[in-house]
Amino acid sequence: MALLVLVTVLWAFSFSLIGEFLAGRVDSDFAVLSRVLLAALVFLPFTRWRGIPGGMKLGILVTGMLQFGVTYLCLYRSFGYLSVPEVLLFTIFTPLYVTLVDDALSGRFSPVALLAAAIATLGAGIIRYDGLSEDFLIGFLLLQVANFTFAAGQVGYKHVMARYQLAVPGYRTFGYFFFGALVIALPSFLIFGDASKLPATPTQWGILAWLGLAASGLGLYLWNRGACVVDAGTLAVMNNALVPAGLLVNLLIWNRDADLLRLALGGGVIAFSLWVNARFHPRARLAPGTD
């Protein structure tokens, strides 16, 4: 779970950076495309082209289309309708999608994992329930598509890697993930992109570079590798750990008003959900993995 915690800290800055510097200023399709291209360039030199089963390549490609391509196109668009706290609020449903997708792919039902995800959702809801903007419905629907595809992508990657037990380091095949995202991001930019809203300042270019190289390139790889060595319940809960982390960043750096008591209470509930999953889930484990 250490990888998931590390990436949570890394991603905690992303919501505020997008909301404060990019949303409404830089074309969302270009922002996503730039992140995809930069992340793909990071893994391109390491990508292994031969000796990888076609089914594995296709599986990783599809997870990239879902978890990065569709997710981030919807996420960036949602900032046009929602504030940063509202975006954080509407991501609390991701854990439910994680457990449900994992159960569907495995042909089973795990009530404890679903319970842990529901408790984590309650904890995040305690932290971030607040007034909603007039355009909340559109933003909410966009976030639910993003939540579902993000959940389906990470669970799908976990299942693909479990099916193909190759003695190949994960970074040698993760390039296919970003190639899949490119299949979604490039046509979207060519069709819907607004060339008049490209980055105009060094700060905007710098943020896009950080999001592409660190948050996307390194972050998504470490997150998915971490997802491969924990059970679905723990993975679901860790998706909601982004909420208090993101709020702390928003509070400490941008001085947003926040109810510290609710933040502490909600964080405690999320921590409790981790304990529930570890204590009662029949498949809860931290299995060893290789990279």
Domain limits of the chain? 2-280
Residue pLDDT, tens place only, 25-67: 999 999 999 999 999 999 999 999 999 999 999 999 999 999 9
- Predicted pLDDT at 286: 42
Structure tokens that stand for 10 in this block = 């890394």
Q: Which pair of structure tokens corresponds to residue 9?
A: 């800290």
For the whole model, what pTM was predicted?
0.84
Residue 42 pLDDT: 95
pLDDT digits (tens, 9 = 90+) for 213-228: 999 999 999 999 999 8
**Listed ranges 12-16, 55-59, 161-165, 260-264; the one with the highest mean pLDDT:** 55-59
| Predicted local confidence at residue 2, as pLDDT | 83
Lowest mean pLDDT among 3-7, 29-33, 187-191, 248-252: 248-252
Judged on CB neighbours under 10 Å (0-12, 13-18, 19+), 287 is: exposed
Question: What pLDDT does 47 receive?
Answer: 96
Cα(260)–Cα(256) distance, integer angstroms: 11
More confident residue, 144 or 106: 144
Candidate ranges 113-122, 161-170, 191-200, 252-261; pick with highest mean pLDDT = 191-200
Residue 3 has pLDDT above 90, yes or no: no
3-class secondary structure per residue, the chain:
CHHHHHHHHHHCCHHHHHHHHHCCCCCHHHHHHHHHHHHHHHHHHHCCCCCCCHHHHHHHHHHHHHHHHHHHHHHHHHCCCCCHHHHHHHHHHHHHHHHHHHHHHHCCCCHHHHHHHHHHHHHHHHHHCCCCCCCHHHHHHHHHHHHHHHHHHHHHHHHHHHHCCCCCCHHHCCHHHHHHHHHHHHHHHHHHCCHHHCCCCHHHHHHHHHHHHHHHHHHHHHHHHHHCCECHHHHHHHHHCHHHHHHHHHHHHHCCCCCHHHHHHHHHHHHHHHHHHHHHCCCCCECCCCC
Q: Say which residues have a Cβ less than 8 Å from residue 91's Cβ, sequence separation at least 6.
A: 124, 143, 146, 147, 239, 240, 242, 243
On average, the pLDDT of the chain sits at 85
Q: How many CA atoms lie within 13 A of 146 on its CB side?
A: 22
Does 287 score more than 50 pLDDT? no
**Percent of the chain at pLDDT exceeding 70:** 91
Residue 289 has pLDDT above 60, yes or no: no
Report residue 170 as tokens: 């994960």
Are 239 and 95 a contacting pair, CB within 8 Å?
Answer: yes
Cβ-based neighbour number of residue 279 at 10 Å: 10
Separation between Cα atoms, residue 179 and residue 69, nearest integer Å? 10
